[in-house]
């Protein structure tokens, strides 16, 4: 029995050794996936620059409270269309009403004092003519009359101010427009200067773009400026602004120059992102290096995953993912302009999706 078991173990071990020696020689090598490549070449022309911009209303106002009090009514919400003079909100007016009543009482008191001083002044004039009072007494009566006259003017001014403050308890629209957002809720405490809502006029709109200060001079030579806006069908249309204004100074923190591009009649909304193109730039020797460094590749060669924009570069006979920066929007179906991350002479995958698969092998460009 022991001899048979030992013989069985020896046969099993020999079979395992035979299979282990045979397996590497006959294992199937995984198939490679050839992926076409292209070699990057610098372009000597760079007659266009593009940056992201944002839509904003030419006429926009933040309506703020001008008196202290709780908000008793908020009569509009974001998206509502309003007319000039329409009531937007109401603030508790009890304090302003009491102030108006107090100022009216001050006016009545000042007028009574004025009437008394006037009568005293008239009596003093009569007594002085009869020689019963001195010049000093007459001067004192005249001064009291003039002071009472000034008191009446001050009291009436206070009454006007109190009436104006009571009017501030009713917040109205300064112009025809649409409510962009509200910044307060009913019951909140309003204070002078605290925003209540933001109002804008739907027409006209403008695109605002921040241009790097280092390229501001070259951008000023653009012969054509266009703004890309989406159409209802999902396509993109390029519009020329009706007026272009570049602010004279640069932002000290971001080192950018703000350009404001007034748009023709459009359905764009404030806060919407757009693409601004400065085309047909004049050649500038100072920008020759940056111009030559721009590379254009097919859209299929660029991989976009969330915030990542990259291409597959050939390194050591295989693909390596390399992050890049582009000047073309992600939704553009046309060629993509690479600004940084690669350089002329690099070889990249023509199809980034195929290059990311297992066993992807680059071919010669």
Q: Which residue has 């372009």 as its token pair?
A: 43
The predicted structure's pLDDT at residue 42: 65
The predicted structure's pLDDT at residue 80: 92
Q: Which residue has 């649409």 as its token pair?
A: 178
* Contact between residue 171 and residue 71 where contact means Cβ atoms under 8 Å apart: no
Could you report the per-residue pLDDT of 170-207, keeping only the tens digit for each?
999 999 999 999 999 999 999 999 999 999 998 889 99
CA 3 to chain centre: 89
- pLDDT (average), residues 211-215: 88
Give yes or no for residue 40 having a pLDDT over 50: yes
pLDDT classification of 17: cutoffs 50, 70, 90 = very low
The predicted structure's pLDDT at residue 332: 62
Count of CB atoms situated within 10 Å of the CB of 351:
17
The predicted structure's pLDDT at residue 143: 92
Count of CB atoms situated within 10 Å of the CB of 330:
10
Handedness of CA 207, 208, 213, 217 (dihedral sign): positive
The predicted structure's pLDDT at residue 163: 86
Distance CA 128, CA 2 (A): 156
Reply yes or no: is the peptide bond before residue 204 cis, omega within 30 of 0: yes
Query: 254: buried, middle or exposed (CB in 10 Å: 19+, 13-18, 0-12)?
Result: exposed
Q: Which residue has 């000597």 as its token pair?
A: 44
Residue 224 phi/psi, 5-degree rounding, is -145, 130
Give yes or no for residue 11 having a pLDDT over 70: no
* Contact between residue 89 and residue 120 where contact means Cβ atoms under 8 Å apart: no
The predicted structure's pLDDT at residue 301: 87
Name the more confident of 319 and 32. Answer: 319
Q: 50-58+204-285: which CATH architecture?
A: Beta Barrel (2.40)
Q: By mean pLDDT, which of 103-107, 115-119, 326-330 is the weakest?
A: 326-330
Q: Half-sphere exposure (CA, 13 Å, Cβ side) for 60? A: 16
The predicted structure's pLDDT at residue 293: 53
Name the more confident of 205 and 32. Answer: 205
Q: What is the pTM of this model?
A: 0.54
Helices (H), the chain: 2-26, 94-130, 135-168, 216-219, 288-292, 352-355
Of the candidates 294, 296, 305, 295, the residue with the CA atom closest to the CA atom of residue 353: 305
Give yes or no for residue 285 having a pLDDT over 80: no
The predicted structure's pLDDT at residue 25: 42
- pLDDT (average), residues 308-312: 89
Name the more confident of 307 and 274. Answer: 274
Length of the chain (residues): 365
The predicted structure's pLDDT at residue 24: 46
| DSSP summary character for residue 42 | -
pLDDT classification of 255: cutoffs 50, 70, 90 = confident
CATH number for the domain whose boundaries are 33-45+294-362: 2.40.420.20
- What does each C-alpha distance from 183 to 65, 192, 363 come to in angstroms? 11, 14, 59
pLDDT classification of 5: cutoffs 50, 70, 90 = very low
The predicted structure's pLDDT at residue 333: 63
Angle between helices 135-168 and 94-130 (to 10 degrees): 160
Could you report the per-residue pLDDT of 318-353, keeping only the tens digit for each?
899 999 888 666 556 667 878 778 888 889 998 988
The predicted structure's pLDDT at residue 105: 92
Domain ranges of the chain: 33-45+294-362, 50-58+204-285, 93-168
Contacts of 156 (CB under 8 A, 6+ apart): 107, 110
Tokens (6 digits) for 92? 């508790």
CATH number for the domain whose boundaries are 93-168: 1.10.287
Percent of residues, the chain, with pLDDT higher than 70 = 84
Q: What is the mean pLDDT of the chain?
A: 82
Tokens (6 digits) for 347? 């070889």
């Amino acid at each position: 029995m022991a001899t048979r078991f030992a013989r069985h173990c020896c046969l099993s071990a020999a079979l395992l050794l035979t299979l282990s020696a045979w397996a590497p020689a006959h294992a199937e090598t995984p198939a490679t996936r050839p992926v076409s490549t292209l070699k990057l070449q610098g372009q000597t022309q760079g007659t266009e620059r593009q940056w992201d911009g944002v839509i904003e209303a030419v006429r926009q106002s933040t309506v703020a409270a001008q008196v202290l009090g709780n908000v008793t009514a908020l009569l509009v919400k974001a998206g509502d269309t309003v007319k000039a003079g329409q009531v937007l909100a109401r603030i508790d007016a009890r304090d302003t009403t009491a102030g108006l009543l107090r100022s009216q009482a001050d006016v009545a008191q000042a007028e009574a004092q004025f009437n008394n001083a006037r009568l005293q002044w008239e009596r003093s004039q009569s007594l002085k003519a009869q020689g019963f009072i001195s010049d000093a007494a007459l001067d004192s009566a005249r001064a009291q009359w003039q002071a009472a006259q000034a008191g009446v003017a001050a009291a009436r001014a206070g009454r006007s101010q109190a009436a104006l403050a009571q009017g501030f308890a009713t917040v109205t629209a300064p112009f025809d427009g649409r409510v962009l957002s509200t910044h307060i809720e009913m019951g909140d405490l309003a204070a002078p200067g605290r925003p209540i809502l933001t109002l804008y006029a739907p027409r006209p709109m403008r695109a605002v773009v921040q241009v790097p200060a280092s390229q501001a001079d070259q951008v000023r030579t653009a012969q054509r400026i266009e703004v890309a806006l989406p159409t209802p069908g999902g396509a993109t249309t390029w519009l020329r602004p009706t007026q272009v204004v570049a602010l004279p100074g640069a932002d000290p923190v971001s080192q950018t120059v703000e350009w404001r591009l007034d748009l023709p009649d459009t359905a764009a909304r404030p806060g919407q992102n757009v693409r601004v193109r400065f085309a047909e730039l004049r050649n500038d020797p100072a920008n020759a290096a940056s111009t030559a460094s721009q590379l254009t590749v097919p859209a299929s060669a660029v991989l976009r995953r969330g915030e990542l924009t990259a291409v597959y570069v050939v390194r050591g006979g295989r693909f390596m993912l390399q992050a890049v920066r582009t000047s073309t929007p992600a939704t553009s179906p046309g060629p993509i302009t690479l600004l940084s991350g690669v350089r002329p002479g690099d070889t990249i995958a023509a199809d980034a999706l195929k290059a990311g698969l297992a066993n992807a092998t680059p071919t010669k460009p």
